[in-house]
Amino acid sequence: MKHLLKLLDWTSEDIMTVLNLADQLKYEQKHGISKKYLDGKSLGMIFEKASTRTRVSFEVGMFQLGGTALFLSSDKTQIGRGEPIQDTARVLSRYLDGIMIRTFEQKEVEDLAENGSIPIINGLTDLCHPCQVLADLMTIREYKGKLDGMKMCFIGDGNNMMNSLIVGALKTGMSISVACPEGYEPDQLVLDFAKEYGDKFEMLRSPKDAAKDADVVITDVWASMGQEQEAKKRAEAFTGYQINADVMNAAKSDAMVLHCLPAHREEEITAEVFEDHADEIFEEAENRLHAQKAVMVYLMGSTPIND
Ligand code: CP
Ligand code: NVA
């Protein structure tokens, strides 16, 4: 059974198939073509962290595809009271056709997949954010016409976003340069994977060096969910790791800017750069809906693709 636990598990072909399907679903929605690819199906959405985009886009996406989505907050279910994930997986597999989960540990997502018998979708863990990166790749291709040969730059924390962007970029033919302070590097699993791609991946300390000739410049918050206590220490460590006019001058003149949101203006990105690139950033947010509909159809549906 296919899941979306992390992009490392997906082939380049899986990714391209979903990106093509996402474009098709976006076209159909914009042209009033309504196809109920997931008629009668149910998606459980387990949230152990906050969310605006992920929750709303999955719920609306499922509705548009003819199915139903159930919001399962950890503090209102037995998960929050310690029921083992192994049991939760076996129970929910008997009611639902798929589960989206947002949580802390990647292991929880992997355990859900191992013990359940329905597709599991990672809606963000401390390790990665594959749904967001599928939407990011979709947006880059929409603006630039292709992914192969493009250069991505990520500035900031070696967090879930940086991890997934490195994998997503390399698997779709892009090169990627990241800039992060010492001690905030991406996960070792990702660094080992990136080694296979030679000079298509580079990890630097200087944001301007990383942004050199980039086609797309991306950042994320300095303190992710669960790191609120360390926010002050992290703000000091990330001083200078900001997308600003200087960094954009190093990138290509037509470089785009992406941010998964929520954004903290004047921290990881200046208000000026954010507003100059707001069209791209909010298209990226919209594309969460289309990309996730594609993921659900790919994993849970019986479209021509799966037939
Ligand atoms: N980008 C993203 O995942 O947003 P939410 O936290 O609002 O879901
Ligand atoms: N890195 C951020 C992403 C939010 C969508 C976090 O984990 O909080």
What's the count of helices (H) and strands (E) in the chain, helices before strands? 12, 9
Provide the residue type at 208 as one letter: K
The encoded tokens of residue 29 equal: 């929605």
265 is a catalytic site residue: no
53 is a catalytic site residue: no
DSSP class of 238: T
81 is a catalytic site residue: no
Ligand approaching nearest to the C-alpha of 52 = 1
Catalytic residue among 136, 157, 187, 220: 220
pLDDT tens-place string over residues 6-56: 999 999 999 999 999 999 999 999 999 999 999 999 999 999 999 999 999
Pairing of strands 175-179, 98-102: unpaired
- Max CA separation in the chain (angstroms): 54
75 CA → ligand 1 middle, Å: 19
- For residues 227-245, one letter each, b for 16 or more C-beta atoms within 10 angstroms of the residue's C-beta and e for the rest, the string is eeeeeeebeebbeebbbbe
132 CA → ligand 1 middle, Å: 8
What are the DSSP E strand ranges found in the chain?
42-47, 68-73, 98-102, 120-122, 151-155, 175-179, 201-204, 216-219, 256-259
pLDDT tens-place string over residues 154-204: 999 999 999 999 999 999 999 999 999 999 999 999 999 999 999 999 999
Band the pLDDT of 302: cuts 50, 70, 90.
confident
